Structure 1
Amino acid sequence: MLKVSLATTCACLSLLYTAPSNADVDLDALLEMPLESLSDTKVVSATRTSLSLADIPAAVHVITAKEIKRSGARSVADVLVLAPGLHVAKFSNYDWGIAARTTNEALSNTMLVMVDGRSVFNGMFSGVDWDLIPVSLDNIDRIEVVLGPVGTIWGGNAANAVINIITLDAEDAPRRRVSASAGNYDYREYHIRDGGEVSENFYLSGYAEFVQHMPWTSDEERVQPHQDFRVYTERFGLRGDYQNLDRTISFQLGGIRSREDYYWGSYQPHFLFPGEDREDIAGYNTEMLSEEYFAGIKFLQELSESTNWEQQFWLTYSNSDAPDRNAYFTRLDSETSYSDSDVFGGHLSLGFNYRLIDEHFRPYSDRETYVLPYVRVTDESDFINHSVAMYFNYIYPLTETTELMVGNRWQYFNLVHDTFAQPQIRLMQEIGEDQRVWAGWGRSVITPARQGRTTDFHQNAYASDVTFCKNGDVNDCLPNNYDYMQVIINTGNENMPVPEVETFELGYRLWEEQVVQFDLSLFYSEETDIPAWLLTGFERKFVAASSPGTAGTIIDVYRYDHIAPVSSETYGGEMSVKWQPNANFQANASYSFKRIKAECNGNTCAAAENALRGYENEPLHIANAQVMWDINPSLWVSNVFQYIASSEPDAILGDEERVSWPSMLTWDLIVGWTPAKNYPEFTLTVENLFNDQVNEFPQSYSSFDNGTQYWLEVDWQWP
């Protein structure tokens, strides 16, 4: 493994600083706050209203700022390992697959991810780009994870989970802080953040970050020729908060830009370049750019002691030049919500949402659809995609110990010209001062996207001067060699139905003040109209033009249509516990189980058997643990463990070793040390300790081994 020495700049920063700090906010003090009682922990993601976690009839888990800091994570995706019910798998050094209660895919469309209620879900490609979330880990107050359907509150894609990243108010954000990190695989990261009171009742905070690293933390032979490649990420954010009596105004703007070195090329089939002696593929080094920028404003008005009105506007611009998603969009979100905590003795929330997305796919010529290894094309490059929704949610105390929650959302999508209902009903029973049981049912839909509907995805392969043998028999080959091109076209289907997820849940919650928190949830869900690809056509073409010495060019075109014959039943559960016997020690642990049973409907089922069994091929058991120990005021240590059991693929899928999810056990060790008050804090992190190369996906996904990574961070708050 390539070992890169720690940067000289970190050694310089390790000099002792003796100047006193006069910052108004002590971030370290915030991080050292004890474990909150569930009755004191407030959550907004389950109901869009700040409610006590103890009183929410849903499977909710909160990852605190301290837990994030002590996890050693460098990205939101890495942090989510700490949450129960989430299968987090790392594909490369900047790609992840994350799923809740369903199959794990690079782009999972049954989980909604937000930052302060603003969606970071890529609607054009129906998934989340985990490396493009525009938020700094040091600016996160907490991450709220709600498992199960939350479509009533948040709309499409909030089917199996909602992840809401809540950032710190400008008043509480880090101030006068700089940090630098360096480690192996050429990892470098630099942060600067500041903020403070601008005028009475008005606070402003901001940050800027730069990160660079290799695309792969791998010793595999296939990546060694390209280990000089780098991924560069710049991220920035600005937030202002004004509060005066009954009125609060908050604005945010920020963005992220990622530049990735990569090797690209284009095929040069001789039938397209007659008379020219060219290599089969012209390869070259280039750079791929992805970026997202946003701006938004929130206005909250307390109308009375029991009523509130909130208005939000968000503007987002996202752009990528990757061949499979060479597109950009501008999105406008408007959200109006009203809440009254005294409507016939209950709490009523009403809301109206409008979203407009101006989408642009970059066009390709007919020749480019042959010569590029893969490319996404469409007949309609520009499209205005919009949806309109209104919802209500009502919480009513049936008795002193029993609470009922009912709600519904009606959402219209112009892409399918249809309106969908996303209802829920939940019930919570208090069985003691610190115990609750709850049950719930809800239905959510998957927001329709142009991917798979109005776009076609072409995958090409070309080789010159090859031998053709019937059925692979080397004794039965054609007398002459040919040039060969294979074209696979995944054809979109505008008439695809909109998938729905319906879930039944049971839960139990127990806590003992600031010592123990325990959660248990069981679920059964049904998902309908799951997409699959069906081979519907094969055509072999012969072209006389070819490379010298060959008899012509054979072009095989395979056409797959997008269909929705699959439905599934999934059942399982999640269990989590947080334990803090004293102020210096905390242990968190969770376990989750899920089993998927897929079914097929219609006359295409025989051809879709592989897709059916592939949908079921998921790990059954996932567990994690985090142990944090403050040894003394200057030294702390943290450990993060993760276990994922291997999947049990059906024999029809073929080689089990190739298609099964591998069993994985990882250990991350983090040590923090502050020599004295007002000195920098040094944090050493080792990821995948004693487990040098870990592949977290099946071999059939062609993912990369992830090696042991280590880095040192120096964090200093200047006077």
Structure 2
Amino acid sequence: MLKVSLAVTTACLSLQISSPAFADTDLSDLLDMPLESLSETKVVSATRTALSLADIPAAVHVISSKEIQRSGARSVADVLTLAPGLHVAKYSNYDWGIAARSPNETLSNTMLVMVDGRSVFNGMFSGVDWDLIPVSLDSIERIEVVMGPVGTIWGGNAVNAVVNIITYDAEDAPRNKVSASVGNYHYKEARIHHGGQVTDNLYMSGYAELVEHMPWTSDEGRVQPIQHFRVQTERFGVRGDYQKNDREVSFQLGGIRSREDYNWGSYQPHFLTPGVDAPDYVNYETEMLAEEYFAGVKFLQELGDSKQWEQQFWLTYSNSDSSDRNAYFTRIDSETRYSDNNVWGGQLTVGFDYRLIDEYFRPYEKNEIYTSPYVRVADEPGFVNQSAAAYFNYTYPLTATTSLMLGNRWQYFTMVSETFSQPQVRVMQDVGDNQRVWAGWGRAVVTPARQGRTTDFHENAYGSNLAFCDQGTPPNCIPVDYLQIIENHGNEDLPVQNVDTYELGYRFWEGNRFQFDANLFYSEEDGITAWQLINSQRVFLPENSSPGTVGTIIDVFQYQHIAPLSSQTYGGELSMKWQPSSAVQVNASYSYREIKADCHGAICSSTDLPMRSYENEPVHLANALIMWDITSQWWVTNVLNYVHASNPDDVLQDDEYYAWPEVLTWDMVIGWQASEHMPLVTLSAESLFNDQVNEFPESYRGFNNGTQYWLEVDWQWK
């Protein structure tokens, strides 16, 4: 509580101190920081066409480039703490878990994340690797976050939220800009951005970044022997925009490569190497590589009379050599969209898209499967995964103040040989010139992937010369070697997860000074997975064990991926942006969600554990961003993020081990720029007065996160 009080008090004081300064300072000399009116803010992620945020019947939040810059965020995941309804938890210094209206699980895939409309997801589990998003924060114009289902517009995975990262056109991208940062925990970063006009109709821009840091900011004993480990990440991107008359062509290419120092090894059971007295486990330092490269083109033509045609084509290659996802994926995405703003008095959008993923999982020798600490094994190394879809979305003004939105998507997945419908119905009512109420219903599905279907995950543990005792009195003990094998088997018959969501919202704004959004939701989800023990077997090998033992005991536990759960989730989000003066902006949000799970099938008769585990999530989330332009040269930002502790059911037994902890983080950024021609210098502090905090339950074995400081210099010349 002391840390909570101190953080809140200090943030408030930063506003109170500012009052005398306003009285004596010409506000026209301060940095201009106006909020864009909701009626002027254009959003594309909710409908695929640019509409005013005020007129969108959905829970939409826009994070501007200035808010990103002022927050001091160093990654997209850090930025998303500014959005209402998103639970952002930091696992280590480069790994996060993010969830929207759902459990924050390791392989969560109920949120669609895109960069300029191109999905960025791992083909193995159709979720997001947050450390491998190939985009520079300096290139982001805005991030649009749409809460709730947007499956009609975007298809699979647009279940509980859509995050669309929209970058600057080449004409508006940063030019002649270099940046360098240095901080504790061996953090170093360098960036360069450049762009310009090539011909009368063509602009080009590009960037390159290099980041290096420790994999963690923890003081725990388990990381002390390997403090020399580093993570190196390189990003690059090139964009060109050509416009002539009624045609626009945009092309992009870029990529990201991450190299992580890693402590790995293998078990050496004596029965596999008879006569060799080797250690139980041989560990070694190695490097894990993960990378993604992409290229794409968009063609947009205005056809006159409010008609528009767009064609996109993307080619993506990703690769990882980690044992839990040792695979590469080559992906092709193609989409055609046509819109007409005057069809029977309404706006119609129709589209067709196609995706092909050529997947290849590395095959393992049998000994590798049982000697690695963990490894993912595929039934077939090579696999071609395809999907195709057609959709429409129609908005019609029922009256001068009431509009109706109808749409549907029919999407076919070859992995399950089935077509799914993803409809939506939304209504918006104008209450006044600056107020709207809206209601909606939508359905979305999770893109089926090989994880949990056609891949098995093995976890192993081995020890030699152990005492194995029976339950007698006194117990009888014998010396043995012991190997435990846990096999998590995929299930090709798993149903595809789907979610129906009902929403009700209210929106109010006052010019460019105040914005307020409130929405309630209720979701029903089916096809939620769990693991069921289907077989356990003990084998005794009397020969070829370690010296002094009588043999080797092998325990094999086999689990099957099943889908016995369904859930009902309800809650809501409140958010506001307020500019009390031209020098101060305050953003704040609060979110509430409650999950109730049901279980079906044989597994439910023996335990409530799957249900109660799924329900074990934080209920209350809150955040605040306070930006203050002190003078024309100085500014300061405070970012507060709060996550309430979860309350696990008694069936989980150990509350402290399984509970999500209460977390309050306070970040502060101070910026100084002597003049517009001089470098911008910022000093950032992350998690002030809250050193060594773990944001995950102990059962996840997440790393403690320490307080970080870094200094950044940005120089952009004309």
Range into which the TM-score falls when normalised by the shorter chain:
over 0.9
Shift in alpha-carbon separation, 1:476–1:300, aligned structure 2, 3 A: farther
The answer to whether structure 1 residue 669 and structure 2 residue 668 are counterparts is: yes
The answer to whether structure 1 residue 503 and structure 2 residue 501 are counterparts is: yes
The equivalent of 2:4 in structure 1 is none
Tell me, yes or no, if the aligned pair for 1:467 and 1:478 is still in contact at 8 Å: no
The equivalent of 1:530 in structure 2 is 528
Tell me, yes or no, if the aligned pair for 1:469 and 1:476 is still in contact at 8 Å: no
**Matches of 1:470 and 1:548 in 2, distance apart?**
22
Secondary structure (helix, strand or coil) at the match of 2:540 reads strand
Shift of residue 606 of structure 1? Answer: 2.7
The equivalent of 1:462 in structure 2 is 462
The answer to whether structure 1 residue 371 and structure 2 residue 371 are counterparts is: yes
Shift of residue 467 of structure 1? Answer: 1.0
**Matches of 1:125 and 1:494 in 2, distance apart?**
14
Secondary structure (helix, strand or coil) at the match of 1:77 reads helix
The answer to whether structure 1 residue 604 and structure 2 residue 603 are counterparts is: yes
Partner AA of 2:674 in structure 1? P
Shift of residue 83 of structure 1? Answer: 0.1
Partner AA of 1:221 in structure 2? G
The residue correspondences of 1:678-717 to structure 2 (distance < 5 A) are: 678-717=677-716
The equivalent of 1:433 in structure 2 is 433
Tell me, yes or no, if the aligned pair for 1:467 and 1:477 is still in contact at 8 Å: no
**Matches of 1:86 and 1:479 in 2, distance apart?**
52
The answer to whether structure 1 residue 489 and structure 2 residue 487 are counterparts is: yes
Secondary structure (helix, strand or coil) at the match of 1:614 reads helix
Shift of residue 33 of structure 1? Answer: 4.9
What RMSD over aligned residues (CA atoms) do the two structures have, in Å? 1.2
Spell out, residue by residue over 1:606-629, the C-alpha distance to the aligned partner (whole angstroms, 9 max, x if none): 345211100000001000000000
Partner AA of 1:406 in structure 2? L
Spell out, residue by residue over 1:6-59, the C-alpha distance to the aligned partner (whole angstroms, 9 max, x if none): xxxxxxxxxxxxxxxxxxxxxxx9x95521000000000000100000000000
Shift of residue 127 of structure 1? Answer: 1.1
The equivalent of 2:413 in structure 1 is 413
The equivalent of 1:579 in structure 2 is 578
Shift of residue 581 of structure 1? Answer: 1.9
Shift of residue 695 of structure 1? Answer: 0.5
Partner AA of 1:306 in structure 2? S
Tell me, yes or no, if the aligned pair for 1:492 and 1:561 is still in contact at 8 Å: yes
Secondary structure (helix, strand or coil) at the match of 2:487 reads strand
Tell me, yes or no, if the aligned pair for 2:469 and 2:478 is still in contact at 8 Å: no
**Matches of 1:520 and 1:616 in 2, distance apart?**
24
Normalising by structure 2, we get a TM-score of 0.95
Tell me, yes or no, if the aligned pair for 1:468 and 1:477 is still in contact at 8 Å: no
Secondary structure (helix, strand or coil) at the match of 2:324 reads helix
**Matches of 2:105 and 2:303 in 1, distance apart?**
45
Normalising by structure 1, we get a TM-score of 0.95
**Matches of 1:117 and 1:476 in 2, distance apart?**
68
Tell me, yes or no, if the aligned pair for 1:65 and 1:140 is still in contact at 8 Å: yes
Partner AA of 2:70 in structure 1? R
The equivalent of 1:550 in structure 2 is 549
Shift in alpha-carbon separation, 1:194–1:664, aligned structure 2, 3 A: same
Tell me, yes or no, if the aligned pair for 1:532 and 1:608 is still in contact at 8 Å: no
**Matches of 2:182 and 2:475 in 1, distance apart?**
56
Out of 504, 517, 520, the residue aligned to residue 519 of structure 1 is 517
Shift of residue 476 of structure 1? Answer: 4.4
**Matches of 2:474 and 2:381 in 1, distance apart?**
47
- Choose 408-417 or 576-585, whichever is displaced more: 576-585
Tell me, yes or no, if the aligned pair for 1:182 and 1:189 is still in contact at 8 Å: yes
Shift of residue 470 of structure 1? Answer: 3.6
Tell me, yes or no, if the aligned pair for 1:534 and 1:607 is still in contact at 8 Å: no
Secondary structure (helix, strand or coil) at the match of 2:270 reads coil
Secondary structure (helix, strand or coil) at the match of 2:651 reads helix
Equivalent residue pairs, number: 689
Tell me, yes or no, if the aligned pair for 1:515 and 1:579 is still in contact at 8 Å: yes
Q: Please list every run of at least 4 consecutive aligned residues from structure 1 whose deviation after the TM superposition is greater than 3 angstroms.
A: 475-479
How many percent identity over aligned positions? 69
Tell me, yes or no, if the aligned pair for 2:33 and 2:583 is still in contact at 8 Å: no
Please list every run of 5 or more consecutive structure 2 residues that lacks an aligned counterpart in the other structure: 1-28
Partner AA of 2:534 in structure 1? T
Spell out, residue by residue over 1:494-517, the C-alpha distance to the aligned partner (whole angstroms, 9 max, x if none): 000111100000000000010000
Secondary structure (helix, strand or coil) at the match of 1:324 reads coil
Shift of residue 70 of structure 1? Answer: 0.7
Secondary structure (helix, strand or coil) at the match of 2:198 reads strand
**Matches of 1:509 and 1:320 in 2, distance apart?**
44
Spell out, residue by residue over 1:139-177, the C-alpha distance to the aligned partner (whole angstroms, 9 max, x if none): 000000000000000001100000000000000000000
**Matches of 2:680 and 2:423 in 1, distance apart?**
49
Tell me, yes or no, if the aligned pair for 2:34 and 2:513 is still in contact at 8 Å: no
Shift of residue 477 of structure 1? Answer: 3.7
Spell out, residue by residue over 1:633-670, the C-alpha distance to the aligned partner (whole angstroms, 9 max, x if none): 11000000011100010000011011000001110000
**Matches of 1:112 and 1:466 in 2, distance apart?**
48
Spell out, residue by residue over 1:460-512, the C-alpha distance to the aligned partner (whole angstroms, 9 max, x if none): 000001112346x8x64433210000000000000001111000000000000
Secondary structure (helix, strand or coil) at the match of 1:66 reads helix
Shift of residue 676 of structure 1? Answer: 2.8
Shift in alpha-carbon separation, 1:71–1:278, aligned structure 2, 3 A: same
**Matches of 1:261 and 1:338 in 2, distance apart?**
47
The equivalent of 1:24 in structure 2 is none
